[in-house]
Amino acid sequence: MTPSQRRDPLADFAAEIRRWRTLRGLSMKQLARRMGFDPSYISHIEGRRYSPSQEFAWRAEMVLDSGRMILRRFAAYEASQAARPEGDPATTVRRPVRPAPPEIPGGVLVEREVACLTYREHRYHCDVQRTIYNAGSEPVSRYPVRIHVDLRPDGRDDSDGYYHDHPLSWDELSFSASLETPLGRPIGWRVLRDRDSFKKLMLLFDGRSGPLPLAPRHRMELRYSYQVGDDKWGPWFQRNIRFPTSQLLVRLDFPAAVAPTVWGVQCTHTNDVALHTPPRRIDRGERVTFEWGTTDPTLATEYRLHWRFADRAA
């Protein structure tokens, strides 16, 4: 076999990424955002100017769902790199250095999240519905959930001291979780962290006391809810994108009597900017609803809605 006839594993990997991106109807920018990479990164990978990392291949597989073809191409590329002698010019494709994104549990994609917050009689009621899809090769038997309250997200108050004296309790949260079937099927959970203003728990569907694990290439409709008094919940509602997510919808529901005003920001590790589209207001008699959504949420980004009540006395 002549050198010109030899397969180029890097070119094969780049072509596989391009093929599946095209099949899924995604632009380079859309794919990069869903994977949590800089928008120029996909262009460099497909143009073979950067060498792919294992993290890149794994995230691309999660988003593009290629039936592990992307991972096979990456394994072939890695094997070809290991076989080349040190100093071979073919191994010098640039691999950029960038901050490591947060760890993402393997295989899980969020196809749709609808997060609703309702303010009624001095309490905030939070209800979250998620459609999760197992894009990995192993069954998924648990799903993490976090509850975090703070009167001032900008950190200008003594939150630690306040919540030390007024801790968030499980009794007041009234937390519940279920699968979204016609009748609703309760699922169990276990507590991972229990702090004054922060709770982390794991929803369980391992088959021992409820639903079976989520099999590869299957999806599941999850729903969980809890409530917090307005003495502990500040005037903001935040969604953290910890899993690759296709669609996010946030809905706030207030009494019209408090005359609410709502705005939003997109927060990253380096910057906070106003949302590209403002929340949409819907007047419904004695209630006012604000809705905001995106079909391309960025991984490792926080989307936060703030509000102000003009007539707090009401």
Question: How many domains would you assign to the chain?
Answer: 2
Cα 85 versus chain centre, distance: 41
| Closest by CA position to 247, among listed 28, 30, 27 | 30
Q: Is the pLDDT of residue 38 over 80?
A: no
Model pTM score: 0.73
> Domain containing 183 — which CATH number?
2.60.40
Residue-wise pLDDT tens digits, 234-273: 999 999 998 888 899 999 999 999 999 999 999 876 778 9
The answer to whether the beta carbons of residues 279 and 251 sit under 8 Å apart is no
- Residue 210 sits in the same domain as residue 294: yes
- Residue 207 sits in the same domain as residue 269: yes
- Residue 112 sits in the same domain as residue 197: yes
Q: Considering only residues 299 and 118, tell me which one the structure prediction assigns the higher pLDDT.
A: 118
Domain boundary residue, one of 64, 91, 118: 91
Sheet with 176-179, edge to edge strand ranges: 185-186, 176-179, 219-229, 123-134, 108-120, 248-255, 287-294, 280-284
- Residue 179 sits in the same domain as residue 134: yes
Sheet with 302-309, edge to edge strand ranges: 236-240, 302-309, 260-267, 272-274
Domain boundary residue, one of 91, 116, 143: 91
Distance CA 53, CA 56 (A): 5
- Residue 188 sits in the same domain as residue 256: yes
* Residue 144, token pair as written in the block: 């993490």
> Domain containing 79 — which CATH number?
1.10.260.40
Residue-wise pLDDT tens digits, 113-145: 999 999 999 999 999 999 998 877 789 999 999
Q: Name the residue range of residue 178's domain.
A: 108-309
Residue 3, burial from CB neighbour count under 10 angstroms (0-12, 13-18, 19+): exposed
- Residue 206 sits in the same domain as residue 234: yes
Residue-wise pLDDT tens digits, 196-249: 999 999 999 877 767 889 998 889 999 999 999 999 999 999 999 988 888 999
Distance CA 62, CA 25 (A): 15
- Residue 23 sits in the same domain as residue 167: no
Residue 15, domain member (yes or no): yes
